[in-house]
Chains A and B, each alone.
Chain A
Amino acid sequence: MAVAQENARPEGRSSSPFWTIARRDSLAGFLFIAPQLIGIIVFVLIPLGLVFWYSLHEWNVLANTFTYTGAQNYRMLMEDEGLLEVLGATAIFSAGLVIFNLALALLLAVLLNQKLAGIAVFRTLFFSPVVVSLVAWTIVWGFLLQKNGGINGMLLTFGIEGPNWLREETTAMISVIVVQVFKNVGLNMILFLAALQGVPKELYEAARIDGAPTFKQFRRITLPLISPTILLTSIITIVGSLQVFAQIAVLTQGGPGLSTTVLVYYLYQQAFQFHFFGYGSTLSILLFAIVAILTFAQWQMRKRIVFYES
């Protein structure tokens, strides 16, 4: 810093220089946040603005026409008969995913929060799907879930004839949820594990002395103290569930019928398959609004459900 100050005030200059300490400090600050800031501007804010702009237009890619249509795409959104079914499928998918993911992650974290020899091996095993390539993971599950695939083959050895997993409406939805949960549950598990390890041991000791049973200890001590993590993981998981695309594209292509056509996949179909880029953009504004509202609502709820905030 001393060297920099000398440079900033060269000999023979009495008037105040341009590069004052304050300015240089703020330049340095801006340079430090620049990579992140530029990233957000280029890859988030500008595309967001553009998507809104596109949503006010009819964009025919093939004919290379881009016509301002005002709120027409938004009117179409209100009148779209298929959209209700799509939103229903999205709600079922997200709810199923969040409940199953958080419950399983918490269960695994509690089980793995033991001081046992070789526990690290199990932690690594459960976390490993997180680092596997998403598409490769989904393709392999696609083979396993076929009618004559691995899972039904295994069931057959026990004399059970398995369903046609990806071709029945209920089992198709369950399949995509389970494939997604198994892929990402490790991440939430690690977050829960860290939170569990941060719970002071004295509290359990005191509870034991008072004669509180294990489940009561979990409900009265563990849950309240890890509630900030529950909030964080539920926000991450809900937002993530609304963005699931590859699994649907690889496993079911939205079928059978429209049963697994979630909003992101519907948006992709409208924009990239049917070439309605304007309407596709309108759907992505709807998706953005849903994510924003859900995140805001959860954040507001923290006062009621989160008991401990440092």
Chain B
Amino acid sequence: MLYQRTLKSTACALAILGSLALGGTAQAQDAVNLRMTIWSANEAHLKLFNEIAAGFKQNHPNVSVTYESLPFETYTTALTTQIAGGNAPDMAWIFETSAYDFVKSGALYPLTDTLKAAEGYNLEEVGTGATERWTEDGKLYAYPFSTSPFAVFVNNDLIKAAGAKTPAEMIAAGEWTWDNAIETAAAVAKSGKGGLVVRDFNYQAWQYLTSVWNGWGASPWSEDGKTCTMADKPMADALTFIHDAVFAKKAIPGPGETVDFFAGNAAMTITQISRASLLPKEKPFSWDLVPLPKGSAGEYALIGQAGVGVMQSGKNAETAAEFVAYMTNPENSAKLSQFFPSARKSLLNADILKKTNPLLSQEQIEKVVISGIATGKVMPGHTGFAQIQQMVRSNLDAVWRPEADVPATLQKICGQIGPLLKR
């Protein structure tokens, strides 16, 4: 009897709780919480994103946007794990390298109609070069909100202390070449500090070496992505040059060595201009920002892109698309361009960029940002990039040894990734 009574009262309590919970849901059904995964945890970036979210809330009082920062190195893995676990975010940043995977898979909600319908959006001013990777069958699946050129940040204090020529001096003399850049880096390295750091490469993420090997006209695969070109002469020459700079000249910190430019420990670093926010405010050093040096194939520029897309599987995909339209409208794009340069033509002029990039000089903006975006190639990408990346990485480990046989290793890589590229 006691058991039955307990059972009945438990059932009653559950029924009351259940109805309360349902009532709560009914009252809050209009509230929309959107979640966007991003790979930046930078305070200044987040402050700006939250301002944009607050601006959207003014016209959409029921919509709240939260940003979830995932670690940069494992970003795509964490994002796909969320999707696999049925916990996909409403919106997500997407790397240019994995753009093909996301755009072609149908995971993203088409944005073209929403963006075109947004008042004053003017999608037409975003060049097709910028949207190519994010478009499938004439529809835009993610908006390339960041078109950030790679450039060389310079620590003039360290270079002058080592008695070497600064990049600015070399540019003025028309001598800003890879050979001379490595010479300066080697001079600083001899003085006990780091030479030139290709940021985020870490002898793992080899795609960042594109900022160097594009100077030789090298590319890991053909334009159509079907043929491996890693064993071709330009790539062999470029990687031999890098190998020499690492092991013979010691101008680039070797594998297993960590040197942070922004802590004042290296002469130069190649990275995107969005990293200007990492420049130290306390104990600043005399820094400069210059274009990539000239390689054997002449002058070149490289841009990294980041797209923002809406997940097709989200419950509020339409509202999320409206938020993306608001976040990337001309007004907000101008605000974002202080960290993430916009591909909008109206924003690619020195006056506007100067206002949003107070850290950069007029000259730096013209020579690095505007000309970089106008002429730069996008970082390489491919369908199934993660697998190709890993296969190349594990083989390239053989190059990062003093006695490496660079051409033979590159031949081996092509033998392995060839079938994957054709897939």
A257 near B256 with CB under 8 A, answer: no
Q: Which of A59, A148, A255 contacts B257 (CB 8 A)?
A: A148
B77 near A7 with CB under 8 A, answer: no
B386 near A277 with CB under 8 A, answer: no
Task: Tell me, yes or no, whether B101 is within 8 Å of chain A by CB.
Answer: yes
Q: How many angstroms between the C-alpha atoms of A146 and B259 in the bound complex?
A: 12
Binary CB contact string for chain B from 1 to 26 against chain A (1 if under 8 A, 0 otherwise): 11100000000000000000000000
Binary CB contact string for chain B from 393 to 410 against chain A (1 if under 8 A, 0 otherwise): 111011010000000000
Task: Tell me, yes or no, whether B191 is within 8 Å of chain A by CB.
Answer: no
B313 near A275 with CB under 8 A, answer: no
A64 near B80 with CB under 8 A, answer: no
A11 CB, nearest partner CB in chain B, Å: 11
A180 contacts which chain B residues (CB < 8 A)? Answer: none
Whose C-beta in chain B lies nearest to the C-beta of A60? Answer: B105
Q: How many angstroms between the C-alpha atoms of A257 and B1 in the bound complex?
A: 69
Q: Which of A19, A255, A274 contacts B386 (CB 8 A)?
A: A274
B313 near A64 with CB under 8 A, answer: yes
Q: Which of B1, B105, B254 contacts A62 (CB 8 A)?
A: B105
Q: Which of chain A's residues 1-56 have a Cβ closer than 8 Å to chain B?
A: 7, 10, 19
B106 near A257 with CB under 8 A, answer: no
B15 CB, nearest partner CB in chain A, Å: 23
B106 near A165 with CB under 8 A, answer: no
Task: Tell me, yes or no, whether A254 is within 8 Å of chain B by CB.
Answer: yes
Task: Tell me, yes or no, whether B128 is within 8 Å of chain A by CB.
Answer: no
A147 contacts which chain B residues (CB < 8 A)? Answer: 254-257
Task: Tell me, yes or no, whether A253 is within 8 Å of chain B by CB.
Answer: yes
A166 contacts which chain B residues (CB < 8 A)? Answer: 256
Q: How many angstroms between the C-alpha atoms of A164 and B394 in the bound complex?
A: 17
A275 near B80 with CB under 8 A, answer: yes
B394 near A258 with CB under 8 A, answer: yes
B83 near A62 with CB under 8 A, answer: yes
A277 near B84 with CB under 8 A, answer: yes
B412 CB, nearest partner CB in chain A, Å: 11
Whose C-beta in chain B lies nearest to the C-beta of A27? Answer: B3
Task: Tell me, yes or no, whether A296 is within 8 Å of chain B by CB.
Answer: no
Q: Which of B3, B101, B254, B397 contacts A255 (CB 8 A)?
A: B397
B398 contacts which chain A residues (CB < 8 A)? Answer: 256-257
A273 and B77 contact, Cβ closer than 8 Å, known pairs A7-B2, A165-B256, A255-B393:
yes
B204 contacts which chain A residues (CB < 8 A)? Answer: 253, 255
B258 contacts which chain A residues (CB < 8 A)? Answer: 146, 148
A63 near B1 with CB under 8 A, answer: no
Binary CB contact string for chain A from 178 to 220 against chain B (1 if under 8 A, 0 otherwise): 0000000000000000000000000000000000000000000
Whose C-beta in chain A lies nearest to the C-beta of B81? Answer: A272
Q: Which of A10, A148, A257 contacts B394 (CB 8 A)?
A: A257
Whose C-beta in chain A lies nearest to the C-beta of B254? Answer: A147
B101 contacts which chain A residues (CB < 8 A)? Answer: 62, 275
Task: Tell me, yes or no, whether A167 is within 8 Å of chain B by CB.
Answer: yes
Task: Tell me, yes or no, whether B374 is within 8 Å of chain A by CB.
Answer: no
Q: Which of B256, B313, B394, B395 contacts A167 (CB 8 A)?
A: B256
A275 and B255 contact, Cβ closer than 8 Å, known pairs A19-B3, A62-B102, A63-B105:
no
B106 contacts which chain A residues (CB < 8 A)? Answer: 62-64
Task: Tell me, yes or no, whether A154 is within 8 Å of chain B by CB.
Answer: no
B386 near A275 with CB under 8 A, answer: yes
Task: Tell me, yes or no, whether B295 is within 8 Å of chain A by CB.
Answer: no
Majority DSSP secondary structure for residues of A touching B: loop
B395 contacts which chain A residues (CB < 8 A)? Answer: 257
A274 contacts which chain B residues (CB < 8 A)? Answer: 384, 386-387, 390
Binary CB contact string for chain B from 158 to 191 against chain A (1 if under 8 A, 0 otherwise): 0000000000000000000000000000000000
Q: How many angstroms between the C-alpha atoms of A37 and B105 in the bound complex?
A: 40
Task: Tell me, yes or no, whether A72 is within 8 Å of chain B by CB.
Answer: no
A7 near B84 with CB under 8 A, answer: no
A19 contacts which chain B residues (CB < 8 A)? Answer: 3
A269 near B390 with CB under 8 A, answer: yes
A255 and B394 contact, Cβ closer than 8 Å, known pairs A63-B105, A147-B254, A147-B256:
yes
A146 near B394 with CB under 8 A, answer: no
Task: Tell me, yes or no, whether A61 is within 8 Å of chain B by CB.
Answer: yes
B390 near A273 with CB under 8 A, answer: yes
A253 contacts which chain B residues (CB < 8 A)? Answer: 204
A139 CB, nearest partner CB in chain B, Å: 12
Q: Which of B1, B80, B203, B400 contacts A272 (CB 8 A)?
A: B80
Q: Which of chain A's residues 74-127 have a Cβ closer than 8 Å to chain B?
A: none
A148 contacts which chain B residues (CB < 8 A)? Answer: 256-258
A10 and B105 contact, Cβ closer than 8 Å, known pairs A61-B84, A255-B394, A257-B394:
no
B397 near A146 with CB under 8 A, answer: no
Task: Tell me, yes or no, whether B107 is within 8 Å of chain A by CB.
Answer: yes
A18 CB, nearest partner CB in chain B, Å: 9
A273 near B386 with CB under 8 A, answer: yes
Q: How many angstroms between the C-alpha atoms of A167 and B390 in the bound complex?
A: 16
Whose C-beta in chain B lies nearest to the C-beta of A3? Answer: B2
A272 and B394 contact, Cβ closer than 8 Å, known pairs A10-B1, A164-B255:
no
Q: How many angstroms between the C-alpha atoms of A38 and B352 in the bound complex?
A: 62
A257 contacts which chain B residues (CB < 8 A)? Answer: 394-395, 397-398
A254 near B107 with CB under 8 A, answer: no
Q: How many angstroms between the C-alpha atoms of A269 and B388 in the bound complex?
A: 12
Q: How many angstroms between the C-alpha atoms of A148 and B394 in the bound complex?
A: 23
Whose C-beta in chain A lies nearest to the C-beta of B83? Answer: A61
Binary CB contact string for chain B from 371 to 391 against chain A (1 if under 8 A, 0 otherwise): 000000000000010110010
A30 CB, nearest partner CB in chain B, Å: 14
Q: Name the residue among B84, B203, B313, B384 with the largest chain A CB count within 10 angstroms.
A: B84
Q: Which of chain A's residues 219-269 have a Cβ closer than 8 Å to chain B?
A: 253-258, 261, 269
Q: How many angstroms between the C-alpha atoms of A59 and B105 in the bound complex?
A: 12
B85 CB, nearest partner CB in chain A, Å: 9
Whose C-beta in chain B lies nearest to the C-beta of A4? Answer: B2
Whose C-beta in chain A lies nearest to the C-beta of B398? Answer: A257
Q: How many angstroms between the C-alpha atoms of A273 and B81 in the bound complex?
A: 9
B76 CB, nearest partner CB in chain A, Å: 8
Known A7-B1, A275-B101; further 7 A-B contacts with Cβ < 8 A: A62-B107, A63-B107, A64-B107, A64-B313, A166-B256, A255-B397, A273-B387
Q: Write the residues of chain A forming the contact surface with B, with a CB cutoff of 8 angstroms.
A: 7, 10, 19, 59-64, 146-149, 164-167, 253-258, 261, 269, 272-275, 277
Closest 8 CB pairs of A and B: A147-B256, A62-B105, A256-B397, A62-B107, A63-B105, A274-B387, A61-B84, A167-B255
Can you list 7 contacts pairing A with B, beta carbon distance less than 8 Å?
A: A59-B84, A62-B101, A64-B312, A253-B204, A255-B394, A257-B397, A273-B77
